[in-house]
Chain A
């Protein structure tokens, strides 16, 4: 399948500070890429380079076959974006704001503004001035504006900022629907790791401007960890054994539910040792990575269960 965006060796420095270094990624139509990183990791700078808001020092960006260097107008016509906090003309209504920007596109049918406002659930507020909008409503309006002209790639910078939990769920559902039904690709930067894990098909984690993890979300998260949850009978005996067994670290116990980290031994050896000590294993499972665990591990944040 034709890639919707190819980014190669992206680099940006501000004076002597490197903001983004050697970032590369690709995205297919209908896929949603989560761009993660701590504050100042280079997420917004990367997005601004893709949208040409920030001249880059090095690197190549090709959007739906059009190079951002040689054919910026064509390349940018394939993108819709909402960066930073959503900005609108506060004195104008939602509809007027949409129409202002719709006029900048060529060949947008007049009805598209109404359709998009309806799509993001703002048709009832179309005639309301934007200065009276809540942040959540502005976020939805920003999404509608980014969708003007039906771009093949939509870039959203922390779209869930300021939204209540229900608003976040609605927004992510909207994005997933668009990706699935209209084959639109998304690049979404966010700090909502739990939500990103659920709805992103691809993940790119940046740290200090460098890509430290990227790939398909399922693939990344399916790799087993060294954390084992088990249910063992004879609780007292099990607790004694697990606390003195070499090569493992007992992290928690809740009744006969134990969580251990396999530090120096493999899973087979752990099971053999349990059996050798006549412990009956009621249940045993190896935990999978959560995006949050991975993120904290890779960015050097605190974590209690990944080693």
Chain B
């Protein structure tokens, strides 16, 4: 591993926000697991506990990470990782020690994407752990586990590309609040597009596919064609975000 990537990974692991967030997520998951069959919760969330509990619980809980919460968490983390470092004059320090701008942003991206995927897997682990505490071994239905893990991995791909987008935003705006503002704007536009009848726009919209996977195919397997089509569109966004980051970093005045 490149020393700069190692340095950034080490820096990332020291972010207290990550630990606070996942402790909160574990607590929420734990309480959901134990309260989900209470009649009040059933009415409040408009859910059928016979479906969302047991083997489907980890899939049900996925929606609380893949979407607004996860996106905002990643946005806060990336602003600390890039904008705050930039503001504190730390971002360019490796350039004074012989590193290139490309290497610097590649190391940042490498750490951020690995973390994005790791966070999704950690979310899966937390949800399975709380489900196991509540229902025991009956959650491990082979077909359901495979189906749910597939969805977690697909969501991981989506969240990684969203993280790439946040990095591109950070590099372009160089301001944490502007970045967060644009991400909130994205979430609003995403909600509008996903709930609209604009089928053509939906087909080319990055946020449409996770919505499709999580809600339209809820507790069902995703057809291969839908999964591949979604991955292709999301990957195209990824390439664009990546190129924007590379292009902007070259022109940045530190």
Chain B residues engaging chain A, CB cutoff 8 angstroms: 3-4, 6-7, 11, 14, 88-90, 92-100, 250-251, 253-254
Contact = CB atoms under 8 A, between A and B. Distances in A.
B98 A77 contact: yes
Contacts of B99: 104
Contacts of A52: 95
A230 B253 CA distance: 54
Given A73-B100, A76-B98, A104-B3, A87 B93 contact: yes
B88 A87 contact: yes
Interface residues of A, number: 31
A83 B96 contact: yes
Given A51-B96, A53-B254, A104-B97, A84 B89 contact: yes
A91 interface: yes
A101 B97 contact: yes
Contacts, number: 60
A72 B97 CA distance: 12
Contacts of B100: 72-73
Among A54, A81, A82, A89, which residue has the most Cβ atoms of chain B within 10 A? Answer: A89
Interface string A40-68: 00000000100111110000000000000
A249 B95 CA distance: 55
A105 interface: yes
A104 B98 contact: yes
Given A104-B7, A104-B97, 8 more contacts: A48-B254, A53-B253, A54-B254, A55-B250, A55-B251, A55-B253, A87-B90, A103-B7
A173 B224 CA distance: 71
B14 A91 contact: yes
10 contacts: A51-B96, A53-B92, A55-B251, A89-B11, A89-B90, A101-B93, A101-B94, A103-B3, A106-B98, A149-B97
